[in-house]
Amino acid sequence: MSSIDGVMRRKKLKRFWNGFKNNRMATTGAVILVFFSVAAVIGPVLFPYNPMEFGTVETILQPPSTTYYLGTDNLGRDIFRNLLSGARISLMVGILATLISMFLGTSIGIMSGYFGKTIDSVLMRVTDFFLVIPWLPLVLVLVAILGSSVWIIILVIGLTSWAGTARVVRSQTLSVKERPFIERARAIGADHSTIMMHHILPNVFPLVFANTILVTAVAIISETTLSFLGLGDPTRPSWGMMLHYAFQSGAASSGAYWFFLPPGLCVVLVVLGFTFLGYAFDEILNPKLRRR
């Protein structure tokens, strides 16, 4: 019995793996993300970086050399080391903010769709509020009030990016809850929370999963935007923070390409990696988009 089961599972995994392997977007995205994850995890261990340690007049704005692989910034700090610890911050903010956003979006979407009526109206008006209000001014105000530690930034990005997910999950819940197996679950005597957790969530999960990867990309851009505008955490310089310093010190006009190019490229690559992976998963898992 379990062997038949196991064979089926292995077959499914194999089919997924083959689809993944032969999808150029998926492999490219995965390679980029694996590269940056490894860099974020072991990079700062091999090349520790202290943003409070400034250089001397001689080491300010040095172009790339063998001592400073990617040169130094306007305060004499090593760009390469900064880049590695920035990877850690950017990925962490992206992933944690996405978790908050997914948790909120999924639970609000499911509850709204499942209960309907007043609860639905209230929750969807709140969702509309978050969808309609201009994102940047709201976040600027929130961060300005709450302070700009990295945890606050995670929280603020998480709290402001769930609305789209909630909408999508709600509409899928509306269709799932009308299916007869939900009635059967009610007939068994299951209560609302069991029905939502055991029967609706697994059926809307593929949607949540596909959304997660794409929201991560958005969260990383959001963090970069905030940091670039000077709302980042100065004790934990992310890529956005580096761009902020580069912009402030006029790196672009003074020709210090090593100052703004590496963080800029890193942001673009990571976001590209997540986007590639998100679309590729959609293509592999959604039979309607599968190419034969």
Partner 1 sequence: MKLLRVENLKTYFHISEGIVKAVDDVSFSLDDGQCLGLVGESGCGKTTTALSINRLLPPEGIIEGGEIYLESVKLTVLSDVEIRKHRWKDVSMVFQGAMNAMNPVMKIGEQIAEAVVWHQQVTHQQAWNRAKELFELVELEPGRIGGYPHEFSGGMKQRAMIAMALACDPKLVIGDEPTTALDVMVQAQILNLLDRLRKTLKMGLIIITHDLSILGETCDRIAVMYAGKIVEIGSTEDVYDRHMHPYTHRLLMGFPNIHRPKLMPEPIPGSPPDLIRPPSGCRFHPRCDYAQEICQEQEPGMTTAGNGHSYACHFGGAFNG
Residue 72's φ and ψ, nearest 5 degrees, are: -125, 160
Residue 116 φ/ψ region, left for φ over 0, alpha for ψ in the -120 to 50 degree band, beta for the rest: left
Q: Which is nearer to partner 1, 58 or 191 (CB)?
A: 191
Cβ closer to partner 1: 199 or 236?
199
Q: Return the number of the residue (24 or 192) whose C-beta is nearest partner 1.
A: 192
Q: Under a CB-based contact definition with an 8 Å cutoff, are residues 219 and 97 in contact?
A: yes
| Alpha-carbon span 102 to 208, nearest angstrom | 7
Q: At what angle do helices 2-21 and 257-285 cross, to 10 degrees?
A: 140
| Minimum gap (Å) between residue 206 Cβ and partner 1 | 9
Residues within the interface to partner 1 (CB under 8 A): 1-2, 4-5, 8, 179-181, 183-191, 194, 198-199, 202-203
Residue 21, both tokens:
């392997």
Smallest gap, in angstroms, from Cβ of residue 117 to partner 1?
Answer: 8
Amino acid, res. 62: Q
Is residue 217 within 8 A of residue 274, CB to CB? The reply is yes
The CB-of-107 to partner 1 minimum distance in angstroms stands at 19
Complex with partner 1: residue 10 or 184, whichever CB lies closer:
184
Measured from the CB atom, the residue of 116 and 264 that comes closer to partner 1 is 116
Q: Which is nearer to partner 1, 149 or 186 (CB)?
A: 186
Question: The tokens of 198 are what?
Answer: 């055991």
CB of 200 to partner 1, least distance (A): 10
Rounded least distance, CB 115 to partner 1, Å = 11
Interior angle at CA 266, CA 79 and CA 50, nearest 5: 30
Distance of closest approach, residue 5 Cβ to partner 1, in angstroms = 4
Q: Which candidate, 186, 183, 133, places its Cα nearest to that of 160? A: 133
